[in-house]
């Protein structure tokens, strides 16, 4: 089994890379999916968030109001740290369970890709056999957040500032996927990376 950490700043196109790796045959364990699962209605995670940030972060249906919570935590590093202290251990536990299930179901060389935007922030990059960083210039990141997600420039910059910097992510990279070009360019680069992963996985058998 080859365990790969996949990360990239918000707006980098990491999810596009993840989808392409899945199409090639990787098993994806998505931290965003884990993050939603561990704060679903009725979970201890959601109860702790409501206790910490107040009932105003819950919607009328009792589910987490992500927009309200985001407005609180992305404007205040101390509040973001409180949220991360709640969610990060729960997310790690969920992802470990998903890995065990994938390993039990595997037939042949397993390439397991952990899709994790906050890999640098979590300090868990050493848990993986290698780290892939999806990279774009910060100006392009901000433009994508404005054009594709409807954020203002200030909101985009705040979201970017709440994550590790570009240099910090690149310092962790064993492989870099530049996603500043076209989708065809991305397809070609992901195919190259997949061939590299396959070689590495077969060498670990």
Identify the pLDDT of residue 205: 47
State the residue for tokens 């790690």.
Answer: 92
Return the axis-axis angle of helices 66-73 and 44-53, rounded to nearest 10°.
Answer: 50
76 occurs within a structural domain? no
Using DSSP's 3-state secondary structure scheme, residue 110 falls into coil
How many C-beta atoms lie closer than 10 Å to residue 9's C-beta?
Answer: 24
Helices (H), 38-182: 44-53, 66-73, 77-105, 119-122, 138-149, 153-161, 166-171
pLDDT at 120: 85
65 domain-assigned: no
pLDDT score of 127: 86
Q: Are 16 and 23 in contact (CB under 8 A)?
A: no
pLDDT at 204: 61
Q: How confident is the prediction along the chain (205 residues), in pLDDT tens digits per residue?
A: 899 999 999 999 999 999 999 999 999 999 889 999 999 999 999 999 999 999 999 999 999 999 899 989 988 989 999 999 999 899 889 988 999 999 888 877 899 999 988 888 877 788 899 999 999 999 999 999 999 888 889 989 988 988 888 999 999 999 999 999 999 999 999 999 999 999 999 886 4
Question: What are the structure tokens assigned to 7, written together?
Answer: 């990360």
**CATH classification of the domain holding 94:** 3.40.50.300
Q: Which domain holds residue 185?
A: 2-37+88-203
Classified as helix, coil or strand, 192 is: helix
pLDDT at 43: 96
Tell me if the pTM is above 0.75: yes
Both tokens of residue 113?
Answer: 């890709």
- Looking at the 3D structure of the chain, how many domains does it have? 1
pLDDT at 60: 93
Looking at the domain assignment, is residue 82 inside a domain? no
What does the buried/exposed string (b/e) look like for 15-31 if buried means 16 or more CB atoms within 10 Å of the residue's CB?
bbbbebbeeeebbbbbb
């Amino acid at each position: 089994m080859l365990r790969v950490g996949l990360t990239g700043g918000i707006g980098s196109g990491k999810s596009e890379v993840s989808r392409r790796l899945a199409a090639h045959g990787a098993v994806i364990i998505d931290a965003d999916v884990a993050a939603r699962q561990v704060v679903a209605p009725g979970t201890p995670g959601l109860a702790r968030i409501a206790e910490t940030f107040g009932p105003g972060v819950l919607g009328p249906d009792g589910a987490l109001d992500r927009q309200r919570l985001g407005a609180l935590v992305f404007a205040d590093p101390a509040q973001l740290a409180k949220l991360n202290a709640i969610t990060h251990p729960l997310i790690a536990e969920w992802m470990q369970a998903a890995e065990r299930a994938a390993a039990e179901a595997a037939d042949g060389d397993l390439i397991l890709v952990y899709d994790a935007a906050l890999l640098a922030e979590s300090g868990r990059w050493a848990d993986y056999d290698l780290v892939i960083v999806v990279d774009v210039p910060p100006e392009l990141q901000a433009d994508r957040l404005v054009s594709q997600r409807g954020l203002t420039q200030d909101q985009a910059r705040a979201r970017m500032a709440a994550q590790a910097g570009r240099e910090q992510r690149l310092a962790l990279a064993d492989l870099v996927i530049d996603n500043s070009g076209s989708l065809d360019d991305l397809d070609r680069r992901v195919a190259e990376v997949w061939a590299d992963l396959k070689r590495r996985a077969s060498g670990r058998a």
